[in-house]
Structure 1
Amino acid sequence: MKNIKMVLATISMVLLSGCADDKPSDVLTAEKVQPYAEQSLVKGLELTDFKRDNGWVDTESPNRYKVQYVFNYRLTKPLPEIALQGAQDFMAEYDASQKKNSGLIGGLNALNESMQLSITANEWIRNQGDQFAKRRDDFLSKCQPCVVYWNQSGSEQDVSARRYAFVMAWSNLERLGFKDEAKTGAKVPRTAWAAFIKTEKGWKAAS
């Protein structure tokens, strides 16, 4: 009788241990998922309300478990100012890249960067048709430094590059879910996930 009780106790401990370890911990999952959640952050945005939302066993691999987090991106200052900051940062990198490129290969790389910038920006502008000009003026009017930046004089190439950089930063904010009328403190919901595998030594992030 005593041996039976010991066996039952052992089985109970194993079962309880298995239940407690049937999915990866919050500490492990948060550490892995948060960098993914932060990937699209730019200056002027902050990540808030980061929490575990759901998890499920991978139907194609029973030892693989996926965990999803929900969170928000929040504006810490007016949207046009964030677009301006993004444009200025981009231009600083762009100018440094242009100066670094020298010789035939460097010149071709610089030309390629310039063309790619103009193609991407012009596509976003073109997709809006006749509405873009009014939308641009409305957006700029909310930020006097943005107006100064847009109208700053220079060579045709410099002016175009500067404006294209602003358009790229603005379109990125739109892609993230922010509307032009969004105010400081506005949030957009987002999700991120990562996969984990169960090993003899416990759960670990899948490569």
Structure 2
Amino acid sequence: MSRFAYHTDDDDPGEGGVVSVAPANSKVAARGGVNRQAGVPGPDELLLDIGMLARTPGMRYKHRVGIPVGAIAELGAVTEVVGNVVLTNTGAALLLSGQVRSTLEMECTRCLQPTRQDVVTDLEESFDLIAENTAYAQGEVKIVDENVEAAVVEGTILNLGDLLRQNLLLAAPLQPLCAGGCSNGVSVLEDELDTVVTSTPLAGLGELWAKRQHATEE
């Protein structure tokens, strides 16, 4: 897990995955806009400490994403997850936006064979920022993730891996098909459908009624 380093617009983050902009009146800007000791998270980081961002209204982060295959559990990505994430402190809320893409291995709904699907998703999230002034936490800011069942923020830690997994899976096709639409298995499905139609209980009742009508006429 890494904290963000702070950079001015003209500063180059080098190999790190982030460019951060501090508001003009902040302590970071007064020091020249750079705080190297915080450490720069690389593009493959899954856990990001966003505590400083939460405490600094007007601050914005631009984070480059480059997460290797297999790093995000249960995603089924067969290519690197790439894209960008922008985090902005508006004072009342922490806004997260961006776009990521990858290729997921899924099961074809017709032939049930593995198929690869290119998935792109836009990120749009908002977290409330609530100031806490108590005897133990003077001036602390709490980041509120209202999605309790699938929260991606705990304390001041953003679980970027969970956020990307949730959004990519939601953007994936509900009924993936092999390349070209998949003609495999269509005849089998049609045969099964015909069997269901011709072997319903109502069909048996119809035959019994027909026999009774025939016996009455005789």
Structure 1 and Structure 2 fold alike (TM over 0.5): no
Query: With structure 1 as the length reference, what TM-score do the two structures score?
Result: 0.25
Question: What's the TM-score once normalised by structure 2's chain length?
Answer: 0.25
Which structure would you say has the larger RCO, counting Cα contacts within 8 Å and 6 or more residues apart? 1
Structure number with larger C-alpha Rg: 2
